[in-house]
């Protein structure tokens, strides 16, 4: 039951993208035992918030019996949000994505439903039909690998710095305080574009084959630095540049964000205990993450920090220290979020993950990167595709 009980109460809609919406509402008014009926109807073609059921007279309760809002635009999808507004504060009741021809319907017997352009009930709104309609053209990747470090639980390899499609990245020169990694044209990233206004991007399909078995991560690269001394055994303070708002919740609080040391030039023989001091996802300062370095890490090695017990991510790094020299090489601290994982159980066979298995949000300016947990040190080749769906 949808009721308006005050002369300042209305039901209204907000839409994300200008389309062409027809709305119709029927209602009855109850006042001092008298009953009267009425309707409200109209059309919306802009993003201006629009009242779809107006306020009743004083001392009157308005009971909405039916409400329909149909997107009759030929090509534009839009998200509509039905709100209750008391003249001061808006409260959201329901939000739904309406593809062309789709409608949101309400009656006081069965509640809300969504129907497609043929009038058929959409059982799972905002999922299957919308995802299929929003699938983007797949982008292929091909990378020739190099000899990798021995397999390790906190150790991966990234083809970020090697030739192929996409091309090799350029090592960061931002300095120890780092830089945000953002945009759709970062050298080395899998190519992508932000969706149109009012839409969100999700992983459509991620497939890969490799010349050896292992586990492939698709990650979003958020932040990177340069200038870490590979020989120093004293603390190296970091006052980090702002990290983009792309953690698992779309903020920069850091939930789901990992930290790692990435090698853009092969390192030396040292195997120190490496410690990162950081602020965690809840804002607690002074947390410590560690790993033990691998001897002579090849180009592309990523050594991943093990977070303190109970922590769910890194908001910002504040200090880096190692208890022995790495001797040589070039290393960078990076922050990243894991988007998807593929278990590659057979060499030279393709494995895939798509939207039907996991719903993975890709925030604007995501920078997709590959990481591979190898089973052997032999150089590996990678081939696959990456696509998104926008809705």
pLDDT digits (tens, 9 = 90+) for 228-248: 999 999 999 999 999 999 999
Same domain, 193 and 95: no
What is residue 388's predicted lDDT score, i.e. its pLDDT? 95
Q: What is the mean pLDDT of residues 270-281?
A: 97
- Give the mean model confidence (pLDDT) for residues 261-280: 97
CB 62 within 8 A of CB 4: yes
Q: Read off the pTM.
A: 0.73
Whether 107 and 143 map to the same domain: the answer is: no
Q: Residues of 197-236 as b/e, b for ≥16 C-beta within 10 angstroms?
A: ebbbbbbbbbbbbbbbbbbbbbbbbbbbbbbbebeeeeee
Domain end residue (candidates: 109, 129, 149): 129
* Average pLDDT of every residue of the chain: 94
pLDDT reported for residue 125: 40
Instruction: State how far the Cα of 293 lies from the Cα of 228, in Å rounded to an integer.
Output: 15
Do 54 and 195 have their domain in common?
A: no
Q: Say what percent of the chain tops pLDDT 70.
A: 98
User: Three-state SS for 232?
Assistant: coil
Question: What pLDDT is attached to residue 123?
Answer: 56
Same domain? For 345 and 213 the reply is yes
Q: What is the mean pLDDT of residues 70-74?
A: 95
What's the domain range around 27? 2-129
Q: Which of 99, 129, 159 is the last residue of a domain?
A: 129
Q: How many domains does the chain have?
A: 2
Q: Are residues 58 and 167 in the same domain?
A: no
| Pick from 19-28, 79-88, 127-136: least confident | 127-136
From CA 264, how far away is CA 169, in angstroms rounded?
10
Summarised one tens digit per residue, pLDDT across range 27-62 is 999 998 899 999 999 999 999 999 999 999 999 999
Indicate the pLDDT class of residue 349, thresholds 50, 70 and 90.
very high
Least confident of 124-133, 300-309, 352-361: 124-133
Give the mean model confidence (pLDDT) for residues 296-300: 97
134 is a domain residue: no
Predicted confidence at residue 127, as pLDDT, reads 59
Chain centre distance of CA 70: 29
Same domain, 170 and 188: yes
Q: Which two tokens stand for residue 365?
A: 């300016």
283 and 328 fall within a common domain: yes
Confidence of residue 1 (pLDDT cuts 50, 70, 90): confident
């Amino acid at each position: 039951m949808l009721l308006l009980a005050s002369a300042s109460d209305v039901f209204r809609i907000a839409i994300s993208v200008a389309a062409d919406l027809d709305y119709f509402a029927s209602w009855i008014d109850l006042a001092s035992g008298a009953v009267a009926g009425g309707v409200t109807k109209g059309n919306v073609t802009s993003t201006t918030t629009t009242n779809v059921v107006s306020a009743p007279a004083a001392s009157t309760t308005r009971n909405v019996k039916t409400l329909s809002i149909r997107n009759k635009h030929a090509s534009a999808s839009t998200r509509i949000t039905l709100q209750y507004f008391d003249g001061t504060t808006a409260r959201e009741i329901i939000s739904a994505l309406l593809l062309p021809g789709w409608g949101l319907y309400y009656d006081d017997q069965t509640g809300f439903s969504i129907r497609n352009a043929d009038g058929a009930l959409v059982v799972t709104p905002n999922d299957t039909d919308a995802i299929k309609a929003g699938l983007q053209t797949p982008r292929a990747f091909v990378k020739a690998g190099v000899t990798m470090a021995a397999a390790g639980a906190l150790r991966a390899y990234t083809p970020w710095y090697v030739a192929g499609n996409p091309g090799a990245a350029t090592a960061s020169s931002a300095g120890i305080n780092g830089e945000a990694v953002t945009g759709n044209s970062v050298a080395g990233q899998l190519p992508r574009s932000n969706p149109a206004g009012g839409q969100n991007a999700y992983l459509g399909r991620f497939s890969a084959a490799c010349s050896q078995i292992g586990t492939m991560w698709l990650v979003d690269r958020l932040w990177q630095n340069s200038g870490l001394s590979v020989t120093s055994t004293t603390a190296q303070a970091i006052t980090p540049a702002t990290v983009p708002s792309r953690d698992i919740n779309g903020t920069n609080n850091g939930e789901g964000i990992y930290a790692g040391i990435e090698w853009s030039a092969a390192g030396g023989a040292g195997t120190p205990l490496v410690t990162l001091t950081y602020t965690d996802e809840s804002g607690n300062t002074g947390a410590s993450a560690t790993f033990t370095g691998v001897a002579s890490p090849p180009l592309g090695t990523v050594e991943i920090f093990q977070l303190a017990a109970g922590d769910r991510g890194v908001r910002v790094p504040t200090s880096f220290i190692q208890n022995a020299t790495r001797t040589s090489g070039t290393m960078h601290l990076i922050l990243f979020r894991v988007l998807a994982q593929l278990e590659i159980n057979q060499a030279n066979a393709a494995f895939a993950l798509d939207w039907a298995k996991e719903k993975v949000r890709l925030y604007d300016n995501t920078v997709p990167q590959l990481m591979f947990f190898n089973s052997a040190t032999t150089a590996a080749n990678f081939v696959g595709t990456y696509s998104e769906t926008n809705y």
